[in-house]
Copies of this chain bind each other. A is one copy, B any other.
Amino acid sequence: MANQAATMTNQTATSRITGDIRKKIQNGELGPGALLPSEPELAREYAVSRQTARTALQTLEREGLVTVRARRGRIVRVPPRRAVRSSDRHQEEKDRAMLPAHERKEVGEAETNFGMSIADQQFAAAYDVIIATEELARALNVDLGTALLRRKWVSTDPKTERLLSTSVSYIPKSLVDSNPALLDQGNEPWPGGTMHQLFTVGIEIMRIVDEVTARMPTSAEAQAWEMPSGIPLLICRRISFDADGRTIEISDAGYPADRTQLRFITPLKPWPTPAERID
């Protein structure tokens, strides 16, 4: 029997199949949404076992090129639009905190959460108080075991019922203790957001640092997010500092990378004019 390995080319059967299909996707012969050959079909076409054809198709799934619709077939992935989450919102949220209450409410309903309209989201919040772990203590620059207010948010797209974002925020409890209203998750959504909450306890955020990386979701996360395989999770930690450089809050969020684009804007100081220059 013709067993494994190469015949005329140097590649494996699997990589020949993935290569062929990848090419067809890239040159448009298989456009977004196009139905791919089924597993048995591919197996016949390339004279390989179904398992081999399947492996090839799964490779394309892991690359994010192909989506499987269980028991219906595989299609070329239609990349969803990426929602932009811009660092502009940091300043906008801060500005909003100074508006009178009714305006805070209005604006907050139109625009919130790092650039997504609240009309397109359903929020759920849960507060509790925890003890700082080593990692959190280091990140917040507090002692191990310090009491932290932990706030978890989940936002959902009401149309698709899909998760849009989850985030967890940590604030040293001592910073917000003076206003008990801040400890009550029943007050969510707080008009004016976190910046206004902090304002009520005399804290002004002066600098925000966003730390971004990515990783693959666990199977549980992939399921919760309804992420097709082959889509990473963007991992963002936002760290908020006050004027003294004190760490006030850290917030960890995850976003499916196929639906999210992060945007960061860095204004640069002008060059000195020739007269000012020293060289």
Is A94 an interface position by the 8 A CB rule? yes
Q: How far is the CA of A18 from the CA of B220 in the complex (A)?
A: 11
Stretch among A2-10, A115-123, A263-271 lining the B interface? A263-271
Closest B residue, CB atoms, query A263: B211
Q: How far apart are the CA atoms of A200 and B11 in the complex, in Å?
A: 49
Residue A232 lies at the interface, judged by CB distance under 8 Å to chain B? yes
Given known A-B contacts A91-B269, A216-B232, A261 and B211 have beta carbons under 8 A apart: yes
Q: Are A91 and B266 closer than 8 Å at their CB atoms?
A: yes
Tell me which residues across on chain B come within 8 A of A234, comparing CB atoms.
212-214
Digitize A40-63: 1 where CB-to-B-CB distance is under 8 Å, 0 elsewhere. Answer: 000000000000000000010011
Task: Report yes or no: B100 in contact with A279, Cβ–Cβ below 8 A.
Answer: yes
In the complex, A173 has a CB within 8 A of chain B? no
State the CA gap A258–B268 with chains docked (Å): 29
Interface assignment of A260: CB less than 8 Å from any CB of chain B: yes
Distance of A208 from chain B, by nearest CB (Å): 5
Check: A277 CB closer than 8 A to any chain B CB: yes
When distances are taken between beta carbons in the complex, the residues of chain B under 8 Å from A261 are 211-213
Are A268 and B207 in contact, with the CB atoms below 8 A?
yes
Contact with B along A205-228 (1 / 0, CB 8 A): 111111111111111000000000
CB pair B270–A204 under 8 Å, yes or no, is yes
The distance from the CB of A270 to the nearest CB of chain B, in whole angstroms, is 7
Against B, the Cβ 8 Å flags (1 = close, 0 = not) of A99-136 are 11000000000000000000000000000000000000
Asked whether B210 lies within 8 Å of A266 as measured between CB atoms, the reply is yes
Cβ 8 A contact of A268, one of B99, B206, B267? B206
Q: Is A15 an interface residue (CB 8 A)?
A: yes
Query: Which listed residue (B97, B230, B270) contacts A216, Cβ 8 A?
Result: B230
Q: Which of B209, B231, B279 contacts A264 (CB 8 A)?
A: B209
A78 at interface by CB-CB < 8 Å: no
Report the Cα distance A82→B215, complex, angstroms: 12
| Given A98-B279, A257-B232, A268-B90 contact (CB < 8 Å) | yes
Residues of A participating in the B interface, judged by any CB pair closer than 8 Å: 15, 18, 22, 59, 62-64, 82, 87, 90-91, 94, 97-100, 199, 204-219, 229-232, 234, 243, 257-258, 260-272, 277, 279
